Amino acid sequence: MNLWREFSKGLWRDLPPFRVVLGLCPVLAVTKSAIGGLGMGLAVVFVLTCSNILVSALRHVIPRKVRIASYIVIIASFVVTVELVTQAYMYPLYEMLGIFIPLIVVNCIILGRAEAFASRNGVLASAADGLGIGLGFTMSLTVLGALRELLGAGTLFDKPVMPLIYQEHPFAMMVEAPGAFIALGVLLGLMNAVTATKGT
């Protein structure tokens, strides 16, 4: 049951990026569409889970003084894996995420979990933690991407949903940079309001 607790905290209590406001750059950049958000989220799930497992397995081996550098190298290796795999098998996604695939290396959520959790806990717990936080991140990105795509282009996962007149004259600012900042700000405010009323 302990494993379940480590897993589920990423889905609500520590839900990134709303509860733990970290790693905002990819959140803003790739959520032009729901697919972009989902793709980036799944890439982060893979990197976060693998790096958590490896950091946890090596936690008694890595000297304290060079731990951050070691974590970065571990994370970077998995990021390169994702980069090469998406380039080979999912080229449209690779094009869409562009520079933000190599930039997963500097996503503070991943380094933060390595330092705050994986370096202090067992392999299984770390895997559950990475999976949970990663899936929470995916969920947030997909919701934000869906919202922006719906308002900014009138489609959802590239399927038209809004009336034709809306698709011809969408609220185009939402898929541009200003919409990214404002949508995330408003969602964050909503989350704060919900948290305040629920008291958790």
Instruction: Report the interface residues with another protein, using CB under 8 A.
Output: 21-26, 28-29, 68-69, 72-73, 76-77, 79-80, 83-84, 99, 102-103, 105-108, 111, 173, 176-182, 184-186, 188-190, 192-193, 196
Q: How far apart are CA 141 and CA 60, in angstroms?
A: 34
Q: Which is nearer to another protein, 68 or 124 (CB)?
A: 68
Q: How far apart are CA 104 and CA 101, in angstroms?
A: 6
Work out how close the CB of 158 gets to another protein at its nearest, in angstroms, rounded to a whole number: 22
CA 129 vs. chain centroid, Å, equals 14
Work out how close the CB of 81 gets to another protein at its nearest, in angstroms, rounded to a whole number: 10
Q: How far apart are CA 176 and CA 185, in angstroms?
A: 15
Q: Which is nearer to another protein, 7 or 18 (CB)?
A: 18
CA angle 165, 167, 172 (to 5 degrees): 120
In the chain, the amino acid numbered 150 is L
Q: Are 145 and 32 in contact (CB under 8 A)?
A: yes
Q: How far apart are CA 159 and CA 133, in angstroms?
A: 29
Q: Which is nearer to another protein, 19 or 130 (CB)?
A: 19
Work out how close the CB of 167 gets to another protein at its nearest, in angstroms, rounded to a whole number: 22
Q: Which is nearer to another protein, 26 or 170 (CB)?
A: 26
Work out how close the CB of 124 gets to another protein at its nearest, in angstroms, rounded to a whole number: 27
